[in-house]
């Protein structure tokens, strides 16, 4: 996609604080469009609890169609206690699984980056955290134990339950390829995390990753067991660059890494498929208790928009402009309430958004 084209963005604001933080990201995108002469066209659609309230379904076909006809989708969080008693197929969270399936998104990209101004918020010791870290977890999203056969049966020991982990060669190949491609754009280091000393599915995983590595001779490949990887990200997170792993292991490991950054309110994510199209969302929840109060942290959603600029639109310079503006504002001490700032540096959602927009305007192109 060339810079002269129009960029169509599907907007799914979701529930709770979703509309506020996605609205903030849209404001930042508008500033980028103005400064760099791009045109972003937004088409809004409902998903999650808001969609259920209006249509009786968490994921209407209209929403799917709008997303499919976009170059990328910006999503807020969905769900809340209001819908806890709904049947499983009506719950807001089903919208996320449905979108991933309908849009053929099989790779979740979750960066864990430490902003220098956030070092004191990390639970790691100073001598570890001072090295800094920038880790990208590439998690397989549509296979593995979450999608395998499961059930309950009666055995001689009583009621038993089972969940089966299964991966095909094709599923591993496509996620491994994305892992290597991401590594090529960064430091050319990839760590594949599995449990091949115990699990047959992990032995296939490792075999296929090794096969795919032959197409990326510039990338240094390491293999690591999940239990060791979980320890190593605490011992020295700076040793990692890109990590590729299974659905279950990626779910756990990316949450662990997110805590090392000091706040999930700062972390974006992307869900990708075989093309440049992606679904971008903050990793935090809908936080319905603070929805509409103007105190939510907009940074994760804003950085999700930056990921869209880079990965779907190939606008790396514009993405860096957003990331630099966020870093500058945090370095000046301005924060929302979740980051426990000094009283004179406490800012609302709108005020933080304005600060970031102003930094983009004032920083050089």
Active-site residue flag, 195: yes
Among 7, 13, 52, 195, the one annotated catalytic: 195
Q: Quickly tell me which residue has 């809340």 as its tokens.
A: 80
Residue 288's nearest CA partner among 299, 280, 296, 279 is 296
Active site residue 146: yes
- Ranges of beta strands (E only) in the chain are 6-12, 39-45, 72-75, 107-113, 134-140, 150-155, 158-163, 189-194, 220-225, 242-245, 268-272, 278-282
- If one counts every other C-beta atom within 10 angstroms of the C-beta of residue 88, the result is 7
Cα gap 115→329, rounded to integer Å: 11
Looking at 36, 42, 146, 225, which residue is catalytic? Answer: 146
Which token pair is 166? 């299964």
Q: What is the dihedral of CA 212, 99, 315, 214, to 10 degrees?
A: 0
Answer yes or no: 328 catalytic. no
Give yes or no: 68 in active site: no
Selected catalytic residue, list 163, 215, 227, 289: 227
- Told to judge if 53 belongs to the known catalytic residues of this protein, a careful annotator would answer no
Residue of 13, 251, 335, 357 with catalytic role = 251
> Beta-carbon neighbour count of residue 186 at 10 Å?
13
Given 255, 327, 338, 354, the catalytic residue? 255
Distance (Å, whole) CA 324 – CA 327? 5
Cβ neighbour number for residue 292 with a 10 Å cutoff: 11
Backbone angles phi, psi at 13, to 5 degrees: -75, -30
Q: Which residues are catalytic?
A: 146, 195, 227, 251, 255
């Amino acid at each position: 996609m060339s810079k002269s084209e129009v960029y169509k963005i599907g907007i799914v604001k979701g529930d709770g604080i979703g509309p506020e933080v996605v609205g903030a990201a849209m404001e930042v995108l508008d500033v980028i469009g103005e400064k760099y002469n791009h045109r972003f066209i937004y088409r809004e659609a409902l998903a999650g609890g808001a969609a259920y309230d209006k249509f009786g379904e968490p994921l209407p076909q209209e929403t799917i169609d709008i997303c499919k006809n976009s170059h990328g989708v910006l999503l807020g969080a969905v769900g809340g206690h209001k819908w806890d008693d709904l049947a499983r197929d009506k719950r807001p969270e089903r919208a996320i699984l449905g979108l991933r399936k309908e849009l053929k998104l099989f790779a979740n990209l979750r960066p864990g980056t430490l902003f220098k101004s956030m070092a004191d918020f990390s639970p790691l010791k100073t001598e570890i955290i001072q090295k800094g870290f920038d880790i990208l977890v590439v998690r397989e999203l549509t296979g593995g134990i979450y999608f395998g056969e499961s059930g309950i049966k009666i055995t001689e020991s009583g009621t038993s339950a089972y969940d089966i982990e299964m991966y095909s060669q094709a599923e591993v190949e496509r996620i491994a390829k994305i892992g290597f491609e991401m590594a090529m754009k960064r430091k050319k280091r990839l760590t594949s995390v599995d449990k091949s000393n115990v699990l047959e599915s992990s032995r296939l995983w490792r075999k296929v990753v090794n096969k795919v590595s032959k197409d990326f001779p510039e990338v240094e490949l390491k293999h690591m067991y999940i239990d060791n990887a979980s320890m190593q990200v605490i011992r020295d997170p700076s040793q990692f660059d890109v990590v590729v792993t299974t659905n279950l292991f990626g779910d756990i490991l990316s949450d662990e890494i997110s805590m090392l950054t000091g706040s999930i309110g700062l972390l974006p994510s992307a869900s990708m498929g075989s093309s440049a199209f992606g679904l971008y969302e903050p990793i935090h929840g809908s936080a319905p208790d603070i929805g509409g109060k103007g105190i939510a942290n907009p940074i994760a959603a804003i950085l999700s928009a930056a990921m869209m600029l880079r990965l779907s639109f190939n606008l790396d310079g514009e993405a860096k402009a957003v990331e630099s503006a966020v870093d500058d504002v945090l370095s000046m001490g301005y924060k929302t309430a979740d980051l426990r700032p000094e009283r004179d540096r406490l800012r609302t959602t709108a005020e933080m958004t304005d600060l970031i927009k102003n930094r983009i305007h004032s920083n050089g192109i």
